Amino acid sequence: MAWPIDYKKYATEHQITGLTMPSIKSIMAREEGYTLDRAKHFLVFQQRINSELLQHSIIKNNAYSQWFQQGNMRLDKLQHFVIQFSVFSNLFLIAQLKKTINADSIEGMRASKEILANEIGVIFNTPNKIDQKTQAELAEDADIVSLEGSIEGGTFRFRAAHFEWLLRMAEKLGLGFNDVGKRAHGVPATLFFCDELERLYGSEDYMISQAASYAVENWAAAGFWFELVDGFTQYNAKNAADLPLGFFTWHAKIEAQHAAHTQEELEELYFSREIDEDKFIQYGNEMLAGVAAFWIGLNEQRQAELN
Ligand SMILES: [Fe+2]
């Protein structure tokens, strides 16, 4: 996005380049908490985040999704992957519900509730796009369901639940409803990840949940969704298969969209609250360790089968 020249000039003159435009606007407008001093502290903190959190190996180098991208997986490995993902997809609902309950403002609660409701099948209401009725009818095709809008006034459809998108893929792989999605189907690495999401992302301590959110969003935006979509597309082509990819293509697209907001949200947090910076980095890293365990578990499983 092109920046209006005066914001750019202001940022340069006041040595606060690196901040997102909404923050610069707020500083210029002298909104509460938005001081130049705070901005400079934030930029120092951001450097710490960049070097002490965002360099994490699971963000920079995900061996499993890179392998998956080639699309050379055997059916049994693909089944294992889909089962583990289905467990994550279902148990994530618990973490998201806790995050909703533990929000520290009505706005925060609603933002979390949007994600939760959409996850279980409420389609975003988007007057400007395909009309709601058409969307509802197409709910089973995740490729067409909107990425934007609000759940306010949106339509609920069982078949629009993200878990059901994944279930439809699982069924094509010969798996039934009772083969996927339950805690009992998760390997220890997957369950560790899900439990860490509940403990950190869903934490009662607002700072911990925010640190975990920031970590999770940066992981989600790191490109693994696209690698998975590539892998499935290759798999379909190589095996003359027709796996429905909606669960993965939808998440790839929405994460690309979220990435732009993640940084703005961090700045908003920093300008509106006192932040224990060490704690933020520590809990962000704990969350990424949980994420990493999940992928390392998958990677070890596929390597074990090579023998
Ligand atoms: Fe989802």
Expressed in angstroms and rounded, the spacing between residue 40 Cα and the centre of ligand 1 is 36
Return the top range by mean pLDDT from 194-198, 249-253, 257-261.
Answer: 194-198
Instruction: Using DSSP, state whether 150 is helix, strand or coil.
Output: strand
Q: Say what the pTM is.
A: 0.89
How far, in Å, is the centroid of ligand 1 from the Cα of 162?
Answer: 5
* Whole-angstrom distance, CA of residue 103 vs CA of residue 111: 9
Ligand 1 centroid, distance to 177 Cα (angstroms): 18
CB atoms within 10 A of CB 287: 29
State the distance from the centre of ligand 1 to the C-alpha of 163, rounded, in angstroms: 8
Q: How far apart are CA 161 and CA 159, in angstroms?
A: 5
Mean pLDDT across 135-163? 71
**For position 52, what pLDDT does the model report?**
97
Residues surrounding ion ligand 1 at CB below 5 Å: 162
Q: What is the pLDDT of residue 292?
A: 97
Averaged confidence pLDDT in the chain: 89
- pLDDT of residue 301 exceeding 70: yes
**According to the model, what pLDDT value does residue 142 have?**
57
> In 3-state terms, what secondary structure has residue 274?
coil
d(CA 269, ligand 1 centre) in Å: 24
> Between residues 287 and 138, which one has the greater pLDDT?
287
Looking at per-residue pLDDT, the higher value among 256 and 73 belongs to: 73
* Residue 228: pLDDT over 80: yes
Q: Is the pLDDT of residue 252 over 80?
A: yes
Q: Is the pLDDT score of 239 beyond 70? A: yes
C-alpha dist (Å) from residue 169 to 69, 80, 131, 245 = 17, 13, 26, 7
Distance 251 CA to ligand 1 centre (A): 6
Question: How close is the Cα of 119 to the center of ligand 1, in Å?
Answer: 5
